[in-house]
């Protein structure tokens, strides 16, 4: 069988050569650098060494071009940071610190003394349960009352509490009214109502089952009448025992109190928010001055510079507590007696060695006044902020000092009147 060669026409030859050239050109482009896109962005981009993974293709990372990043003021992200296609959520800003006070309702204040929140409009003392409920105590019309608030501030229960006891040693929940006639003269039937006299007189048991109260007609040194009261928060049941009766007729009478109220703890102050991060440092901050409290000497560089005592050495300033930073020391100075024993308060700045008093100025406003040791401990006609045994005096974060309703800001030489009592929480 003979074979015959087929003559290819010039037009077919040109078509075949063009097809081969296109195939060669396409194959060569697979490994060529992607120069066009890079030049369009104004920068060189190297060819990838391997094909991207399927998930990277499905969720490509959207990077801004260098010009866009520069215009926005943002630095371009590194390719190996973060998860491709997933934005890292920004952390919410820290919530400013605030502390809660009971003063005709629950009030929250920031550390500059500005009120930032309010709940209810009644109550003198409050304690917060671990589940967020708040138990509030205060006078109500002619008696005392305990109120349980939900975590949202709604009233869940109201309980009438005793204000004293009658001649039969029975607890009474309302003040007596009316007059008695004795030898032809009108005699007022008057009883001093009992109340919470100091912060430890109102607490919750460890399980949050009972509110445990110690109610007195005056401070413990001057009281004539005292009751211990337990309130079962779930049912509102009240148990009362007479602990103090200066007439010695009713003392020890009343109900047996639950054992849960024998050992109670006040808890921690109710403070919310996020503390500011501690400054980066190798250790605790040190100050130029220090106090040798045993011998009452102010030291500078370890050397004695001044003794915090009067000339007769009969009265010395005594350390009570130090601020969180350690810069400020709260001291007690001169003492005075009356129905209460008053101790005038001093602040010692360890950055300068300076003593300060908080004196009453115009319109009752308190102000910082520099004083010498002699002025701080000697006789004075000035009215100075003081404390008694029942006082609530404590340091708050950022070197704030709470003194019976006063918020003292030593760094700014500022005193803010807030009033009320701090709220404590389990």
Higher-scoring residue by pLDDT: 41, 371: 371
**Predicted local distance difference test score (pLDDT) of residue 395:** 97
Q: 18-27, 109-118, 213-222, 323-332 — which is least confidently predicted?
A: 18-27
pTM of the model: 0.74
Task: Calculate the average pLDDT of the chain.
Answer: 81
Tell me if 406 sits within 8 A of 368, measured CB to CB.
no
**Predicted local distance difference test score (pLDDT) of residue 191:** 60
For the chain, the maximum distance between any two Cα atoms, rounded to a whole number of angstroms, is 161
Tokens of 211: 């509110």
**Predicted local distance difference test score (pLDDT) of residue 66:** 36
Most confidently predicted of 125-129, 246-250, 265-269, 379-383? 125-129
Neighbours of 142 (CB within 10 A): 12
**Predicted local distance difference test score (pLDDT) of residue 36:** 32
Closest to 212 in 3D by CA, of 271, 252, 257: 257
For the segment 144-168, what is each residue's pLDDT rounded down to a tens digit? Answer: 999 999 999 999 999 999 999 988 9
What does R_g of the chain's alpha carbons equal in angstroms?
Answer: 38
Q: What is the mean pLDDT of residues 118-141?
A: 93
Q: Is pLDDT at 392 greater than 80 in this prediction?
A: yes
Tokens of 268: 């921690």
- The answer to whether the Cα torsion of 135, 138, 144, 149 is positive or negative is negative
**Predicted local distance difference test score (pLDDT) of residue 48:** 35
**Predicted local distance difference test score (pLDDT) of residue 143:** 87
Q: 70-74, 140-144, 216-220, 396-400 — which is least confidently predicted?
A: 70-74
Q: 89-93, 138-142, 256-260, 405-409 — which is least confidently predicted?
A: 89-93
Q: Is pLDDT at 77 greater than 60 in this prediction?
A: no
Closest to 42 in 3D by CA, of 25, 71, 68, 66: 66
**Predicted local distance difference test score (pLDDT) of residue 252:** 95
**Predicted local distance difference test score (pLDDT) of residue 308:** 97
Q: Is pLDDT at 112 greater than 90 in this prediction?
A: yes
- Residue ranges of E strands in 62-194: 98-102, 106-110, 115-119, 125-128, 134-140, 143-149, 155-161, 164-165, 171-172, 179-182, 185-188
How sure is the predictor about 177, in pLDDT bands with cuts at 50, 70 and 90? low
Q: 70-79, 118-127, 393-402 — which is least confidently predicted?
A: 70-79
Give the total residue count for the chain: 426
Higher-scoring residue by pLDDT: 398, 275: 398
How sure is the predictor about 90, in pLDDT bands with cuts at 50, 70 and 90? confident
Q: Which residues contact 64 (CB under 8 A, 6 or more apart)?
A: 72, 74, 76
Q: 8-12, 107-111, 218-222, 307-311 — which is least confidently predicted?
A: 8-12
As a whole number of angstroms, the distance between CA 134 and CA 152 comes to 10
Q: What are phi and psi of 29, to 5 degrees?
A: -70, -20
Closest to 232 in 3D by CA, of 203, 212, 216, 253: 212
Higher-scoring residue by pLDDT: 84, 273: 273
For the segment 213-238, what is each residue's pLDDT rounded down to a tens digit? Answer: 999 999 888 899 999 999 999 999 99
Q: Which residues contact 197 (CB under 8 A, 6 or more apart)?
A: 214, 215, 216, 218, 219, 220, 223, 390
As a whole number of angstroms, the distance between CA 423 and CA 404 comes to 12
Q: 8-17, 51-60, 101-110, 404-413 — which is least confidently predicted?
A: 51-60
**Predicted local distance difference test score (pLDDT) of residue 284:** 63
């Amino acid at each position: 069988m003979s074979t015959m060669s087929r003559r290819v026409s010039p037009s077919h030859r040109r078509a075949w050569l063009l097809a081969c050239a296109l195939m060669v050109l396409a194959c060569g482009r697979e490994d060529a650098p992607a120069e066009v896109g890079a030049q369009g962005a104004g920068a060189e981009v190297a060819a990838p060494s391997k094909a991207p993974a399927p998930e990277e293709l499905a969720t490509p990372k959207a990077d801004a071009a260098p010009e866009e990043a520069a215009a926005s003021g943002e630095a371009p992200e590194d390719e190996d940071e973060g998860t491709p296609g997933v934005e890292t959520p920004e952390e919410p800003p820290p919530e400013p610190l605030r502390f809660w006070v009971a003063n005709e309702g629950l009030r929250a204040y920031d550390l500059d003394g500005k009120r930032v929140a309010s709940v209810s409009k009644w109550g003198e003392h409050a304690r917060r349960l671990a589940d967020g409920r708040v138990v509030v105590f205060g006078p109500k019309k002619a008696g005392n009352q305990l109120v349980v608030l939900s975590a949202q501030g709604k009233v869940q229960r109201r309980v009438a509490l005793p204000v004293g006891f009658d001649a039969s040693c029975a607890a009474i929940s309302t003040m007596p009214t009316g007059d008695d006639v004795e030898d032809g003269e009108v005699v007022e039937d008057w009883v001093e109502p009992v109340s919470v006299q100091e912060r430890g007189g109102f607490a919750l048991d460890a399980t949050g089952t009972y509110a445990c109260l110690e109610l007195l007609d005056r401070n413990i040194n001057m009281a004539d009448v005292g009751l211990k009261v337990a309130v079962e928060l779930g049912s509102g049941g009240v148990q009362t025992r007479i602990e103090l009766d200066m007439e010695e007729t009713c003392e020890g009478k009343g109900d047996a109190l639950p054992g849960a109220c024998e050992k109670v703890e006040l808890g921690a102050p109710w403070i919310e928010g996020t503390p500011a991060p501690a400054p980066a440092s190798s250790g605790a901050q040190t100050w130029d001055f220090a106090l040798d409290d045993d011998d009452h000497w102010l030291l500078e560089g370890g050397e004695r510079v001044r003794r915090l005592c009067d000339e007769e050495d009969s009265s010395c300033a005594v350390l009570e507590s130090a601020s969180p930073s350690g810069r400020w020391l709260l001291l007690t100075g001169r003492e005075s007696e009356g129905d209460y024993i008053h101790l005038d308060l001093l602040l010692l700045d360890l950055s300068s060695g300076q003593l300060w008093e908080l004196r009453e100025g115009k319109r009752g406003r308190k102000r910082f006044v520099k004083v010498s040791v002699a002025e701080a401990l000697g006789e004075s006609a000035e009215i100075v902020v003081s404390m008694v045994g029942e006082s609530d005096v404590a340091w708050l974060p950022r070197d704030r000092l709470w003194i019976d309703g006063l918020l003292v800001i030593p760094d700014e030489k500022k005193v803010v009147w807030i009033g009320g009592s701090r709220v404590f929480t389990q």
